[in-house]
Structure 1
Amino acid sequence: MRPADLKPLIPALMLAGALAWLAQSAWTLREAHAERAVARALASNRDVEPPHGASGELLFARAHFLLVRDRIDEAQALSGRIVERGGPSVAARFFYDLGNARSRRAVGAVESSQIDKAIPEVRLAKEAYRSALRADPELWDARYNLDVAMRLVRDFPELEAGEQETKAQPKKLWTDLPGRPRGLP
Structure 2
Amino acid sequence: MKRRTVHLVFGVLSLCCAGAALERGLRLRQTTGLNAEIARIADAPAGKDATGIPLRSARELQLAQALALSKAGNHDAALKGYAGLLQNGERDLIAQQALFNLGNMYLRQGLAQQTGAVPLFELGKQRLRDLLRAAPQDWDARYNLERALRLAPEEQEAFSAEQQQSVEQRRVRVPGFVAGDLP
Provide TM-score, normalisation by structure 2.
0.56
Match of 1:54 among 48, 52, 57: 57
CA gap of 1:70–1:57, structure 2 versus 1, over 3 A, is same
2:84 partner SS: helix
Whole-angstrom CA distance in 2 between matches of 1:156 and 1:108? 22
Check conservation: 1:89, 1:136, Cα contact below 8 A: no
Match of 1:144 in 2: 143
Paired residues, number: 124
Contact conserved, 2:131 with 2:141, CA < 8 A, in 1? yes
2:72 and 2:148 map into 1 onto residues whose CA distance is 21
Aligned equivalent of 1:99: 103
Helix, strand or coil: the match of 1:117? Answer: coil
- Which residue of structure 2 lines up, in the alignment, with residue 70 of structure 1? 73
Structure 1 residues 147 and 45, CA gap change in structure 2 (3 angstroms): same
Q: TM-score, normalised by structure 1?
A: 0.56
Instruction: List gaps (5 residues or longer) in structure 1.
Output: 1-30, 160-185
Q: CA separation of 1:52/1:130 partners in 2, compared to 1, >3 Å: closer, same or farther? A: same
Q: Distance in 2 between matches of 1:64 and 1:142?
A: 17
Structure with bigger RCO (C-alpha 8 Å, 6+ apart): 1
Q: What is the root-mean-square deviation of aligned Cα atoms in Å?
A: 3.1
Question: CA–CA distance in 2 between the matches of 1:135 and 1:56?
Answer: 18
Query: 1:135 corresponds to which residue?
Result: 134
Residues 120 and 36 of structure 1: CA distance in aligned 2, closer, same or farther (over 3 Å)? same
| Deviation of 1:142 (Å) | 0.6
> Contact 2:82–2:102 at 8 Å: present in 1 too?
no
The structure whose Rg is larger is 2
Query: How far apart in 2 are the matches of 1:69 and 1:85?
Result: 27
Tell me if structure 2 keeps the 8 A contact 1:89–1:135.
no
Relative distance call for 1:126 and 1:85 in structure 2 (3 A) is closer
**Pairs within 5 Å for 1:37-48:** 38-47=37-46, 48=51
Q: Percent identity?
A: 29
In the superposition, relative to structure 1, how do residues 155 and 36 fare at CA in structure 2: closer, same or farther (>3 Å)? same
